Every structure is written in C-alpha cells, then in structure tokens.
Amino acid sequence: MAEKSFRVAVVGATGAVGNLMIQVLEERSFPVGELKLLASARSIGKSLPYKGRMLPVEELTEKSFRGVQLALFSAGSGVSRKFAPIAAEAGCVVVDNSSAFRMDPRIPLVVPEVNAHALGDHPTIIANPNCSTIQMVVALKPIQDAVGIRRIVVTTFQAVSGTGKRAIEELRRQVADLSEGREVTREVYPHQIAFNCFPHIGAFLDNGFTEEEMKMVNETRKIFEDPEIQVCATTVRVPVYFGHSESVNIETRAPISAERVREILSGAPGVIVVDDPGQHRYPVPLQAAGTDDTLVGRIRMDPSVENGLAMWVVADNIRKGAASNAVQIAEILAARNLI
Amino acid sequence: MAEKSFRVAVVGATGAVGNLMIQVLEERSFPVGELKLLASARSIGKSLPYKGRMLPVEELTEKSFRGVQLALFSAGSGVSRKFAPIAAEAGCVVVDNSSAFRMDPRIPLVVPEVNAHALGDHPTIIANPNCSTIQMVVALKPIQDAVGIRRIVVTTFQAVSGTGKRAIEELRRQVADLSEGREVTREVYPHQIAFNCFPHIGAFLDNGFTEEEMKMVNETRKIFEDPEIQVCATTVRVPVYFGHSESVNIETRAPISAERVREILSGAPGVIVVDDPGQHRYPVPLQAAGTDDTLVGRIRMDPSVENGLAMWVVADNIRKGAASNAVQIAEILAARNLI
C-alpha cells in the first residue's frame, strides 16, 4: 500500500491557493504519481515547480480529467460548477475549494480534524469549507464535543491573501505608493486596504450580512451537524498579508472552565494552544503564516453571560484555510482507499 | 459673555494627543485668552504653533497652574496623579485624558453627547474616558435610552496613534524596513505591528482580560450609570495609523428594529450613520480620521440571540477618542460658567 501513488490534477494551478496546493502536496509527501497542472487558456506557456522540476500548465478542458484520480480545484465557483461534475463523471474524486457545492446536502463539507466521517464510503465531490470557517471549527470542535455550544459571536481580521494574488499585489502597491507620495490606486477592493480596514468580504445580502459572514453561519452548522447552533459573524479585511485572526465569544450548553478548555485544546488535533499572555504569548498572524496549525489563545471566561468563553484563533488562511485542508482531505481519501 | 476668554494650559503638549489638543482648541475656536504649553523638562526649548504663532513649551512644575483656569492633561497617569490635584488646588479646572481618576467615584467621567449632566455644579477634575469607550458609548447611548442594553460584546481594531508618537513611528519604520529588506526592529510593541495584529492593549490582568478591555467594561458602566450592563471586550492593535474600528454586538432589553436604530442614530448628537453597504458605504478608519464624529454602519439584526443587534463603529481615536472630547468637555464647562 505504501507504494501506491495517484494521478493528481490541480485546477487553478497559477492562483495563490492552487500554487500553494502544489507546494503542500510536495511538503506533505502526498503520493503523487503524476501531476497535471490545469488553468485557463491565458496561463498556457507558464510552468510551475514541483519536486525540483518545472511542470507545464495545461489548459483546462472537458477532456483534462481522463485518467486523473484526484483533482484539487481552486479556480472559483464558476469553474467548479462547470468542471467538477465533468471530473467526477470521468471517475476522478474532486476536492473543491470554491463555495459552489458547500451547502449542497449531497456533498460532504470536510475539515479532517472535525468531521472526516462525513466523507462517507463513496465521495465524488468533496467541498473544502471557507477559510474563516475552517480555523474556527477546528478550535471549537473539542468544546462542542465536551459541553456543546449554543451560540458563537465572531469577528474576523482577514488577510488579503484570501482574496488572491492581485489583492496581495494591491496592498504592496498601495504601501509603496504612500511611501513614495504617489496617489493610491484601487483595483481589487472598494476601499484602500493599506493602513485601513473594512467590514466587507463578499457581497452584501438582504439581511445586512455579507456572503462571507453567512458562510460562517451555514458552514459551521453543516460541519457540526448542528442546525441549532447560533452564529453571528462580522468579517473584516485588514492590511495583513497572510493569516486570519478571529475574536470568538461562545456560550456553551454546560459550564466549562477556561483551564479545562485549554487542557482539551492542548490535546486536540490541528490545534496549538499559545496562551501565556503575561509572556506576550498569544497567536498572531505572522506566527501562524506558513504552518498548518490553528493557534488558539486568550482563552478566558466571558463573565458577561452564563457559560461564556472568549478566545482568539489564528491560522494561515491559504494553508489550513484552503490548500492544506484540501491536501489533508486527500490524505484521508488515500488512507481509506477512497481514490 | 461672548467675549469671555480663559487662561488655558495643555499638559503633555508635545505628545500626540497634547499636540492635537492645541490644534482642536484653535479649530473649534475655544475662547482661549492665554495658552500655556507644559511638558517635561526634556521638551524645554521646543515651541508649538497656535493661531499662527509659535508658543514656547514650559516645564511642568508645581507652580505652573497659578492663574490658569482650565488645564487639559494628556501626559500619562503618573503626571496626572501628581499634578492634577495641584492644579485643582490652585483653582484650575482639570480635564484629564489619563486613566488616573476615571474610576474614582468622586470624579465625573464624561462624554458630552452622553452624560454632560455628570459634570455637576462644581467639577474640579473631570476624566476623559478611554478612546475605545468614548466612540462605543456615543453610538450606543441612543439605543440604551430607547430600549436599554443588557449586554455588549465588542472587538476592537485599534490604530497605533492610540499608543502615541513613537508607535506611529514604529509602524512607519517597520514598513520601510520590510520594503527595503532590512530586519524589522521593535521598540514600542511586543510584536511586529506592520502587516500583523495582536490582541494585547495594556497589561494583562488575572481574569485574562487586558486593562484596555476592562476599561471598556467599567467605564461604560460608569458613563451609562448602569452597573448591570454586561460588557465583554477583546481589544486588538492593527496596522492602521488613525481611527479605531469596533465590531459591536448588543442584546437590548426590549426589541428594536435595525431600521429604527438607524433612525434614532441619524438624529443623535456626534453620530453619523454611514450605512449603505450595497454602495460600499460603511465606516472605515481612513474616512473617520480628522473628524470629531462617530461613524456607525453595518447596522443589522443579530438573529443568533433574542433582541440582538450588530453594528460597526469607527471614530478618530485621538480626536473624538481623546483631544476633541476633552475640548468638548471644556466647551460645556465654559457654557455653564463652570470655569
């Protein structure tokens, strides 16, 4: 079994997350037999490094998935909606990073540390949750299991890399423009992001929340298989390159102490407790960047409500929040002979 | 009465807030007869502009307040604890921006739009609240009056100017160091602030909260004269120069619609409702910087709890959060013949 390897495709290979998927496949030694890099026609001619070789980027077409066993998609919802079913039809198992299928009741929405069981016996398309949801559910699942969670109030501090390469470039350019006295230009965001922040991620819906905020509500319920859990999110873009931070207040169903939460989380998969504030130790995005862990700190009782707890949760949004979570799903698929 | 003018001192005149106090006195045409700029001995020799003239900075001593009618203090708690009583003893009315006297039950803690009545008939020392508290209570007071507030959960996004000039310089220097490939150095903050954020403002207390977080709890209760109101705060430093933002979730005592809150706030003193998210209109710190208003937007029902509301509150932390609030207090003192 150890020698088994897979024909893998990465769709959206030239994007920030797609690129990182290739790197994470290599870093985590996923058993790749053959690697196919797929992107839109305008990326033809590019090549990307994998294990010391440069692999050419091929154009994504309806024939791209012949003979491919596993495809990691990160090319936006439109591409996923069109091509994931084609890939699945060709016998390929798809792990999709877009929001296209996340709320489809037939599609498992999976964070390996939280609900790997949801993969079932014969998954074809598996949805990777939204970045902000992933790190929150990794941190909260052990508490949900221990005492139940009634309500979550979360405010996010989201890095520009979540928007993609052009947003990373926009922050860099605005910082340079300001330092050199040029007028700041905007292409990606509705407001200057350098030295600013704004509570606007995804489109606004009729209820006053954004798409991103409602993803945190609906995906948390689906992943926890708990339609009763109440979530209110405010999602905010901040001038950070990598790493989302979350201020999380919860109300548990039964009492639990901050000390006990710290103990439970210290033994939880994918979680690192960084919680010695007197020594200035708490999670910060610069520290989480480049890792696959979810860092949790500032764990304290919230005395403003019965069974209240507050904490601060940080993870690399394009690793654990996207690429690494997708590869970790693939690892389970491989281990369970589901590809 | 219109010709009446006052002998005014600014203590800590060379600091970020002190400097701005001088500017705000001029901008708001406070009736200054004579202006005395006071600072520590190491600022002697400096001078600062006021109404087109350069005024010398004098050393703060026990004799500085002879003949001074109004002193605006912004030189830290230690200086306030020592010199505010000396000034008061000399017959000077003190508006103190430090935390030294805020929780003293004999000292009024005042935000003019919220509780000007607390000044009473014969104030000697008046405390200016913490920056994060001021903008929050300005936004919430009309709701508190309308339906009562049971609980507030707030997460802040705080600008470096709140820490002072050296922190503004630290963010500038770190950004330049990074852009030029130099190693980033830290002098003011425990972590790099450029392209990072951390939930650490003020010292950590035994209950796991920071001093800044507990200021938001205790000052809100004192200003609202409501010891029952529950507040849980997470205060976070972000790489923004000017303007604090706050994600605020509240639970009211009686139901109220988001539409009604928008109406009430639109008519409230010191508040500007910026709430047309479909048009990308919501408060952002770059927009609040330089104004004395508290901007409120993203007003929406929070369906995760009974009588829940969420909103986003932004103000210039060193203007409304400090210098302008102090000058506004002075304006009321003058109008009421209390100086």
pLDDT of residue B51: 97
In contact, B243 and B288? CB cutoff 8 Å: yes
Contacts of B304 in chain A (CB under 8 A): 151-153, 230-232
Of A241, A280, A308, the CB nearest to B200: A280
| Lookup result for tokens 């219109």 | B2
On whether the A6-129+322-335 domain is CATH 3.40.605.10, my answer is no
Of A151, A207, A299, the CB nearest to B305: A151
**A247-270 pLDDT per residue, tens:** 999 999 999 999 999 999 999 999
Q: CB distance A277–B200 less than 8 Å?
A: yes
Chain A residue at shortest CA distance from B297? A199
pLDDT bucket at A1, cuts 50 / 70 / 90:
very low
SS3 B300: strand
Token output for B45: 């020799």
**A271-324 pLDDT per residue, tens:** 999 999 999 999 999 999 999 999 999 999 999 999 999 999 999 999 999 999
Residues of A marked as binding for substrate? 158, 211, 237
The CB-side HSE value for B163 (13 A sphere, CA atoms) comes to 23
> What average pLDDT does range A213-223 have in this prediction?
98
pLDDT of residue A29: 97
Token output for A76: 């936006």
- Identify from A136, A232, A245 which residue to disrupt to test chain B contact, counting B C-beta atoms within 10 A and taking the largest count: A232
Distance from CA of A304 to the nearest CA of B (A): 5
**A141-196 pLDDT per residue, tens:** 999 999 999 999 999 999 999 999 999 999 999 999 999 999 999 999 999 999 99
Of A249, A280, A300, the CB nearest to B153: A249
> Which residue numbers of A are catalytic?
131, 244
Whose CA is closest to B158, among A224, A140, A197? A197
Q: How many CB pairs lie under 8 A apart between chains A and B? A: 158
Using left for φ > 0, alpha for ψ between -120 and 50, and beta otherwise, residue A298 falls in left
> What does the alpha-carbon distance between residue B167 and residue B230 come to, in Å, rounded to a whole number?
32
pLDDT of residue B163: 96
In contact, A159 and A240? CB cutoff 8 Å: yes
User: Is a pLDDT exceeding 80 seen at residue A85?
Assistant: yes
Residues of A marked as binding? 14-17, 42-43, 102, 158, 161-162, 211, 237, 317
As a CATH number, domain B6-128+322-335 is: 3.40.50.720
DSSP string, A248-283: EEEEESS---HHHHHHHHHTSTTEEE--BGGGTBS-
Q: What is the ipTM of this complex?
A: 0.96
| Lookup result for tokens 């009446």 | B4
**B92-133 pLDDT per residue, tens:** 999 999 999 999 999 999 999 999 999 999 999 999 999 999
Contacts of A210 in chain B (CB under 8 A): 277
Of A196, A231, A310, the CB nearest to B284: A196
pLDDT of residue A245: 98
> What does the alpha-carbon distance between residue A307 and residue A299 come to, in Å, rounded to a whole number?
13
User: Is a pLDDT exceeding 70 seen at residue B1?
Assistant: no
pLDDT bucket at A3, cuts 50 / 70 / 90:
low
Distance from CA of A232 to the nearest CA of B (A): 6
Give me chain A's average pLDDT, please.
97
As a CATH number, domain B133-317 is: 3.30.360.10
User: Is a pLDDT exceeding 70 seen at residue B222?
Assistant: yes
- Identify from B152, B155, B212, B240 which residue to disrupt to test chain A contact, counting A C-beta atoms within 10 A and taking the largest count: B155
In contact, A311 and A253? CB cutoff 8 Å: no
Whose CA is closest to A30, among A82, A69, A86, A74? A69
**A122-144 pLDDT per residue, tens:** 999 999 999 999 999 999 999 99
% pLDDT > 70, chain B? 99
> What average pLDDT does range A31-54 have in this prediction?
97
Give me chain B's average pLDDT, please.
97
Strand partners, B127: B96, B109
pLDDT of residue B2: 53
- Identify from B221, B232, B317 which residue to disrupt to test chain A contact, counting A C-beta atoms within 10 A and taking the largest count: B232
Strand partners, A8: A35, A70
Cβ contacts of B20 within 8 Å, gap of 6 or more: B318, B319, B322, B323, B324
> Which residue numbers of B are catalytic?
131, 244
User: Is a pLDDT exceeding 70 seen at residue B176?
Assistant: yes
User: Is a pLDDT exceeding 80 seen at residue A8?
Assistant: yes
> What average pLDDT does range A95-105 have in this prediction?
98
Chain B residue at shortest CA distance from A249? B153
In contact, A149 and A143? CB cutoff 8 Å: yes
> What average pLDDT does range B254-273 have in this prediction?
98
Q: Which amino acid is at A65?
A: F
Of B232, B285, B297, the CB nearest to A196: B285
Q: CB distance A300–B236 less than 8 Å?
A: no
Contacts of A247 in chain B (CB under 8 A): 155, 199, 234, 236, 247
Q: CB distance B305–A236 less than 8 Å?
A: no
Domain spans, chain B: 6-128+322-335, 133-317
pLDDT of residue A237: 98
> What does the alpha-carbon distance between residue B67 and residue A334 come to, in Å, rounded to a whole number?
83
User: Is a pLDDT exceeding 80 seen at residue A214?
Assistant: yes
In contact, B70 and B9? CB cutoff 8 Å: yes
